[in-house]
Amino acid sequence: MAACTRGLKNLLTSIKFCRTLQFQDERFLCTSALRFANNEPPKFVPPSKPVIINKTQTTASTRRFLSPEFIPPRGRTDPFKYFMERRDMVRRRKALNIPEFYVGSILAVTMADANASGKTNRFVGICIQRGGRGLGATFVLRNILNGQGVEICYELYSPRIQTIEVLKLEKRLDSNLMYLRDALPEYSTVDPEMKPVPFSPTGEVPVNKLKVKMCPKPWSKHWERPQFAIQGIRFDLCMTPKQMEFVQKKYAKPWEEYDMLKEYDTSKLEEQIFAEVQQEMNK
């Protein structure tokens, strides 16, 4: 046994020796060849620079997201007023990290509260609505605690908000989930001790194509009517197709599609504002 190991060791050392000899010979051969060729000292050829490819994140794939409150509403106000508001919004965003989120994502917000123990108050809920423009932008979080439905409307730029974390980033089929008030409670319950679900900053935001089951009618609003244009409710369980067709036909406004005064194309404005905001944030 000992003999075998000793033999191996000798073999290894001899191999190493041979390898080094080989390399030395090569280097020697290389330089000597040049020397014999040019009769000058060999020029120093620097090694080629290593190219670092960041495979984790490329600029083309990071999501371009502009928070909806930056887009000004259509009206006769001077765009200068929105410019002044945007400066303040960017200043606040530099002090507090307001993450990207959509209606349907699950958020946890800690707010300063004089009457709470520890002077802060943490609330976890699903975002059902994002309203307002400019500094007064708000979002409503809904949760069911001890069988009681609770909705809290927070102002994004209020100084009382200390942190906003996104526990689960996802989109839903609608941009307004107010119908969850009339849906079965299981769809609005969010575990307050939920762990954050990891999500990537690149690629598409996952769309949850969940269709929600509703409580029996009457509902707080006539969600089946075409003015709400809701995709996320299981209407086939609540009403017959004939009823649905009747309601869609009666309350339809087919002329709105051709109403030119209702058109508001924000694409160019969005690009300008996005570029401006990115520049300010990176300063």
Partner 1 sequence: LTALTGRYWQTCAGHTGNIKVCDSSQLVGCIRTVKIPTWFEEHLTEDNQKYMRHSMAEEYRRQTAEKLCPLKDEPWPRHEWTEGSRRVGLVAIKLGMAPIWTKSGERHAVTMLQVQDCHVIRCTSKEEYDGRSAALAVGGKNVSPFYRSEKAMELFRNAGVPPKQKVTIFKVSDNAIIKPGTPLYAAHFRPGQYVDVTAKSIGKGFQGVMKRWGFKGQPASHGQTKTHRRPGASGPGGDPAKVFKGKKMPGKMGNVFVTAYGLKIWRVNTKYNVLYVHGSVPGHTNCVLKVRDTVLPTRRSTLLNPPFPTYFTEEEGDLDEDLYSDDLFVHTEPSVTLS
DSSP 56-105: S--TTTB-----GGGSPPSSSS-HHHHHHHHHHHHHHHHHS------TT-
Note whether 70 binds partner 1 by CB under 8 A.
no
List the structure tokens of 240.
């017959």
Q: Which is nearer to partner 1, 134 or 232 (CB)?
A: 134
> How many of the chain's residues bind partner 1 (CB under 8 A)?
30
The only residue of 69, 70, 85, 177 in contact with partner 1, by rule CB under 8 A: 85
Q: Nearer to partner 1 by C-beta: 162 or 266?
A: 162
Task: Choose one: 59-67, 74-82, 177-185, 205-213; the region binding partner 1 (CB under 8 A).
Answer: 74-82
Which of 126, 141 has the CB closer to partner 1?
141
- The amino acid present at 140, given as its one-letter code, is V
Cβ 135 to partner 1 shortest distance, Å: 5
Answer for the pair 127, 137: CB distance below 8 angstroms, yes or no: no
Closest among 95, 157, 163, 167 to 132, alpha carbons compared: 157
Site string for partner 1, 152-191 (x = CB under 8 A): ---x-xxxxxx-----------------------------
Figure out which of the listed residues 6, 119, 209, 234 binds partner 1, where binding follows CB under 8 A.
Answer: 119
The sign of the torsion formed by the CA atoms of 275, 276, 277, 281 equals positive
For position 134 contacting partner 1 by CB under 8 A, the verdict is yes
Q: Considering the complex, what minimum distance in angstroms separates the CB of residue 121 from partner 1? A: 10
Nearer to partner 1, 97 or 267 (CB): 97
CA distance 123 to 194: 11
Of the pair 67, 189, the CB lying nearest partner 1 is at: 67
Q: Please give the Cα distance from 204 to 64 (Å, whole number).
A: 10
Give the span between the Cα atoms of 267 and 273, in whole angstroms. Answer: 10
Tell me the C-alpha distance between 25 and 14, whole Å: 16
Catalog residues that contact partner 1 under the rule CB under 8 A: 75-78, 80-81, 84-85, 88-89, 91-92, 94-96, 112-114, 119-120, 134-136, 155, 157-162
